[in-house]
Chains A and B, each alone.
Chain A
Amino acid sequence: MGPILLPLATAVALAAMGGRRARLEQAISLTATALLLLLSLLLLRSAAAGETSVYRPGDWPSPFGIVLLLDRLSALMLVATSLVALGSVAYACLSGLRARYYHALFQFQLAGLSGAFLTADLFNLFVFFEILLIASYCLLTLGPTRSRLRAGLHYVVINLVGSTLFLVAVGTLYGLTGTLNLADLALRVAALPAADATVARSAALLLFAVFALKAAVVPLHLWLPGTYAAAAPPVAALFAIMTKVGVYGIIRVATLVFGPDAGVAAAVAGPWLLPVALATQMVGMAGALATRDLRRMQGYFLIGSVGTILTGVGLFTHEGLTAALYYLVHSTFTIAAMFLLADLIRRRSAGGGALGLLFLFGAMAVVGLPPWSGFIGKALVLAAAPLDRVGAWVWGVTLLAGLVGVMASARMGGRLFWLPAPAGAAVVAVRRVRRSALAPVLGLFGAVVLLTVFGDAVTRYTRATADQLFAPQEYVRAVLPGR
């Protein structure tokens, strides 16, 4: 409950202050986010022991009341969220982002993200989705330049349509099973008669399509690059975790509700996930090669990284999921840092040399060159692929996408740091930032280095997570002790 209440309370307090005392608000927001990180780490430690803890708000017996559940996957997502949030909010303070209510909205979004990762109820998931989306709409259109307005309108419309589809899927599942509690849903979907197979499978695929829209999976990816390029840099960094909410939804539902034991709807996403994931990798990297704008390129890299994660998930093996979760954490940190770095490069704050080195490091991490964690993640995905035709596709596409990504990064780096600035296009009127604004970028890159150095410990954790996800009986028993 803590990870939801803490940002929510902070958000309400900040909103009440009304954006008049910038310094104090920054301090409160930073402290609250740091506390959230601490809290998430504590939860991670308790979850790492293999414990599935359940909290019942209002103490209604399941499956009638709403249930919050913390297992290894939720804890991992919480830690990734709060770390990225800390980097983002620190950058916002240091780079002097001036926008009333930025911090209040930011905390609202954190509350929505934490809730989405913790809830064990499908409709409650919808509500937390809406909380984080409403906050993200406002964050995106803060300080509305014309490009932000244009991107914001598209983003809001597409997400509203997505929410509509989510409700249709939820309604259909409720009409079939009479429950929305994920654990109860798992039991009842498995017991559905064969006559309901078509409806159940359609509802499941609709649900996956909604999550795929949030995760920007091809062909539902077109909204992402423009939106993220238009957002304020710290907002874009936080949005790096937002596509992961969709990935989380896919992983959770594919293993718990529509897993291999789900009767008529068993493994319904199976034939779709892997081809779509491979296409996402390729389209993401090709888009990165095609664009000339650094922030847009990071958006395309984000799409590509979702493709890599889902490739691991789509293999539906313990090894595949282990690799996917590792890559998920890695890509969230890296791309968040790259969005911040792109802003620093645009403003040319700290001389070309340091920025160039940082860009080199980030580019290597993003496209998965050794020795950084992107390479470990991709190698794990490849190692998890079976040695048959499927495996050949996975190897071929992942390696080719990686090559295209390297080319895109190299070309962008060359243009940014080696070409002289074109005459006339000289320094746009942007405020220079303090050197200390480098700190959040360094912090996030530091997290990537730690992820590399302690790769063994992290993969051991993600392997345990994968084992836990493939044994959903434990989840069901935690929520419904009677069965």
Chain B
Amino acid sequence: MAALIALAVGVLLGCGTYLVLRGRTFPVVVGLVLLSYGVNLFLLAMGRLSVRVPPIVMPGQAQYADPLPQALVLTAIVIGFGMTAFIVALALRSYIAFNTDAVEPRGPDE
């Protein structure tokens, strides 16, 4: 499972990096989303991988998953979601103002 997760994180971050370096806003936004997915997966894996193990204290349970990374990932997901919404709105404003979806739109300032 570790190899699979590592592969997934690598592919997500690799694709994200490639897309963020594009010159149009839509691929950049998708790239940022992929980057945040990759990082969230990475954060979760940092609490050590486990399957069907509860993160809270339960009677008759010998093994526990680390609850902290799960809480961190939850926070990171919420923040990432808000940021994505914001940058989509910003990219739209930019598209309307410049009539192009280039990241570096040319044209007068006013």
To the question of whether A and B form a pair in one complex, the answer is: yes
**A interface, CB within 8 angstroms of B:** 123, 127, 130, 134, 137-138, 141, 144-147, 149-150, 152-154, 156-157, 160-161, 163-164, 167-168, 170-172, 174-175, 178, 180
Tell me the residues in window 52-78 of chain B with beta carbons closer than 8 Å to chain A beta carbons.
66, 68-69, 72, 75-76
Contacts of B87 in A (CB 8 A): 153, 156-157, 160
Whether the pair A164, B90 counts as a contact (CB closer than 8 A) is no
Whether the pair A153, B25 counts as a contact (CB closer than 8 A) is yes
Contacts of B15 in A (CB 8 A): none
- With A152-B90, A167-B39, A167-B43 known as contacts, the answer to whether A160 contacts B83 (CB < 8 A) is yes
Whether the pair A147, B72 counts as a contact (CB closer than 8 A) is no
- Further pairs besides A161-B32, A167-B42: 4, Cβ < 8 Å: A149-B98, A152-B90, A160-B83, A160-B87
Closest to B94 in A: A149
Q: List 30 A-B contacts (CB under 8 A).
A: A130-B79, A130-B83, A134-B82, A137-B86, A141-B90, A144-B97, A146-B109, A149-B90, A149-B93, A149-B98, A150-B98, A153-B90, A154-B103, A156-B86, A156-B87, A157-B28, A157-B87, A160-B32, A160-B83, A161-B20, A164-B32, A164-B35, A167-B43, A168-B39, A168-B42, A171-B39, A171-B42, A174-B43, A174-B46, A174-B68
Whether the pair A172, B46 counts as a contact (CB closer than 8 A) is yes
Is B14 close to A, CB under 8 A? Answer: no
A163 to B86, CA, bound (A): 15
A132 to B103, CA, bound (A): 24
* Residue among A138, A149, A161 having the largest count of chain B Cβ atoms under 10 Å: A149
Tell me the residues in window 25-61 of chain B with beta carbons closer than 8 Å to chain A beta carbons.
25, 28, 32, 35-36, 39, 42-43, 45-47
Contacts of A134 in B (CB 8 A): 82-83, 86
Q: 10 tightest A-B contacts by CB?
A: A175-B46, A147-B109, A171-B43, A171-B46, A167-B39, A164-B35, A149-B94, A130-B79, A146-B97, A164-B39
Nearest-neighbour CB distance to chain A for B29, whole angstroms, equals 9
Contacts of A145 in B (CB 8 A): 109-110
Nearest-neighbour CB distance to chain A for B47, whole angstroms, equals 8
Residues 89-103 of chain B, each 1 if its beta carbon lies under 8 Å from chain A, else 0:
011011001100001
* Residue among A127, A168, A170 having the largest count of chain B Cβ atoms under 10 Å: A168
Whether the pair B110, A123 counts as a contact (CB closer than 8 A) is no
The one of A153, A167, A171 that contacts B94, using a Cβ cutoff of 8 Å: A153
Whether the pair B86, A150 counts as a contact (CB closer than 8 A) is no
A152 to B94, CA, bound (A): 9
Nearest-neighbour CB distance to chain B for A427, whole angstroms, equals 15
- With A164-B35, A171-B43 known as contacts, the answer to whether A146 contacts B108 (CB < 8 A) is yes
Nearest-neighbour CB distance to chain A for B67, whole angstroms, equals 11
Query: Chain B: interface secondary structure?
Result: helix
Contacts of A123 in B (CB 8 A): 72, 75
Contacts of B35 in A (CB 8 A): 160-161, 164
The one of A146, A160, A170 that contacts B110, using a Cβ cutoff of 8 Å: A146
Contacts of B109 in A (CB 8 A): 145-147
Nearest-neighbour CB distance to chain B for A395, whole angstroms, equals 40
A376 to B94, CA, bound (A): 45
Nearest-neighbour CB distance to chain A for B85, whole angstroms, equals 11
Contacts of B75 in A (CB 8 A): 123, 127
Contacts of A144 in B (CB 8 A): 93, 97
A401 to B25, CA, bound (A): 37
Contacts of A149 in B (CB 8 A): 90, 93-94, 97-98
A130 to B91, CA, bound (A): 20
A127 to B79, CA, bound (A): 8
Whether the pair A146, B107 counts as a contact (CB closer than 8 A) is yes
Whether the pair A156, B90 counts as a contact (CB closer than 8 A) is yes
A137 to B84, CA, bound (A): 12
A330 to B108, CA, bound (A): 36
The one of B42, B45, B47, B104 that contacts A150, using a Cβ cutoff of 8 Å: B104
- With A160-B32, A161-B32, A161-B35 known as contacts, the answer to whether A167 contacts B97 (CB < 8 A) is no
A161 to B39, CA, bound (A): 11
Nearest-neighbour CB distance to chain B for A429, whole angstroms, equals 10
Nearest-neighbour CB distance to chain A for B80, whole angstroms, equals 8
Nearest-neighbour CB distance to chain B for A210, whole angstroms, equals 12
Nearest-neighbour CB distance to chain A for B49, whole angstroms, equals 11
Contacts of A154 in B (CB 8 A): 103
Whether the pair B103, A153 counts as a contact (CB closer than 8 A) is yes
A49 to B90, CA, bound (A): 47
* Residue among A123, A137, A167, A178 having the largest count of chain B Cβ atoms under 10 Å: A167
Whether the pair A150, B90 counts as a contact (CB closer than 8 A) is no
The one of B20, B91, B108 that contacts A153, using a Cβ cutoff of 8 Å: B91
Contacts of A147 in B (CB 8 A): 109-110
Whether the pair A167, B46 counts as a contact (CB closer than 8 A) is no
Contacts of B98 in A (CB 8 A): 146, 149-150
A157 to B88, CA, bound (A): 11
Residues 2-20 of chain B, each 1 if its beta carbon lies under 8 Å from chain A, else 0:
0000000000000000001
A149 to B109, CA, bound (A): 10
A145 to B94, CA, bound (A): 10
A154 to B105, CA, bound (A): 11
Closest to B87 in A: A156
Whether the pair B94, A150 counts as a contact (CB closer than 8 A) is yes
A154 to B72, CA, bound (A): 27
A141 to B86, CA, bound (A): 11
